[in-house]
Amino acid sequence: MNEALIRKTIHDYIVVTWLSGDERDFSDDADLLQAGILDSFSTLNLAAFLDESFRAALDPAEINPQNFRSVNALTQTVLAKLATAPTTP
């Protein structure tokens, strides 16, 4: 899966799930924590979404403000996780 598709999937999920489909003024660099989009419950929900959508199961230490700061940060977190995932034949 390529970076642009991962970014769009995460962006669209956040818009539909927490912004009621209204993506005006929402950029991939927006601080999700500062904007109040993510809290502890929604962060865990998003972590589950990343696992289900990309098979990117995050370790507890990876669920942190730095990795969940923005759509771009989440995209890089998923890409890094996929790069280290074992390949299946």
Per-position DSSP letters for 18-29, written without gaps between them: HSTT--TT--TT
Q: pTM for this one?
A: 0.92
7 neighbors 27 (Cβ within 8 angstroms): no
Round to whole Å and give the CA distance between 40 and 46. Answer: 10
Confidence (pLDDT) at 86:
74
Q: Find how far residue 74's CA is from the centre of its chain.
A: 4
Domain residue limits, the chain: 3-80
Span 16-28, pLDDT tens digits: 999 999 999 999 9
Per-residue pLDDT tens listing for the chain (89 residues): 799 999 999 999 999 999 999 999 999 999 999 999 999 999 999 999 999 999 999 999 999 999 999 999 999 999 999 998 776 65
CATH class of 3-80: mainly alpha
